[in-house]
C-alpha cells in the first residue's frame, strides 16, 4: 500500500530506504487510538479519538519524511489521515523526533511539510548521478518498489 524509494552504494554499503505510505494494518490501528486516549498525541487528538474511532470514520496511519532544514538529513515521521465519512478528511501530523544527524527539531510554520515521493526519488537519483555522500564513489543504485 506504499512505495519503497531508496538508494545504496555498492562500494561502501551506505544508503537510505523510505517506506512511503502505510500498510494494510495501518487502517484503524489500535495504537493510534491508544496514543490519542493517553494524550501522547496532544489534547486535540484526545478529544477527537480518545473514546475510540467514531462509527463510519476511518483512520489511516502513514509514514512521511521531512528534510532537516539544518543538515539536509531526513527525519522520519507519521501522519494520521482521518476520513469522517462526509467527504472531508483531516490530516494530523504526529510530532517527529529530532534529526538523527544534527539533533535539530522542526519548526511548525516552516519545516513541517513532508517531502513528496517525487522529492525523495530526486534525492536518491541525485546520489546515483553525483556519487555516494559517504565515500564519493559513483557506484550508487536507486531502489524502487512497493510494499504491503
How do strand 140-147 and strand 74-83 relate by DSSP bridges? unpaired
pTM: 0.88
Counting the structural domains of the chain, the total is 1
Average pLDDT, whole number, for the chain? 92
| pLDDT at res. 111 | 67
Express each pLDDT in 57-106 by its tens digit.
999 999 999 999 889 899 999 999 999 999 888 999 998 989 999 999 88
User: What is the model's pLDDT at position 106?
Assistant: 86
Whole-number Cα distances in Å, 25 to 31, 60, 104, 113: 11, 9, 31, 25
Task: Write out the residue range of the structural domain in which residue 81 sits.
Answer: 2-147
Look at residue 148 and tell me whether its pLDDT is greater than 80: no
Give me the pLDDT at residue 50, please.
94
Amino acid at each position: 500500500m506504499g512505495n519503497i524509494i531508496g538508494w545504496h552504494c555498492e562500494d561502501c554499503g551506505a544508503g537510505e530506504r523510505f517506506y512511503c505510505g502505510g500498510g494494510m494494518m495501518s487502517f484503524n490501528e489500535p495504537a493510534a487510538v491508544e496514543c490519542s486516549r493517553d494524550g501522547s498525541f496532544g489534547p486535540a487528538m484526545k478529544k477527537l479519538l480518545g473514546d475510540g474511532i467514531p462509527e463510519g470514520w476511518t483512520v489511516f496511519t502513514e509514514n512521511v519524511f521531512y528534510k532537516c532544514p539544518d543538515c539536509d538529513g531526513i527525519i522520519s515521521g507519521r501522519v494520521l489521515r482521518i476520513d469522517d465519512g462526509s467527504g472531508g478528511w483531516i490530516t494530523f501530523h504526529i510530532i517527529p523526533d529530532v534529526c538523527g544527524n544534527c539533533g535539530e527539531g522542526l519548526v511548525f510554520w516552516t519545516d513541517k511539510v513532508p517531502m513528496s515521493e517525487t522529492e525523495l526519488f530526486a534525492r536518491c537519483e541525485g546520489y546515483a548521478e553525483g556519487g555516494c555522500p559517504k565515500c564519493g564513489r559513483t557506484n550508487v543504485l536507486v531502489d524502487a518498489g512497493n510494499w504491503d
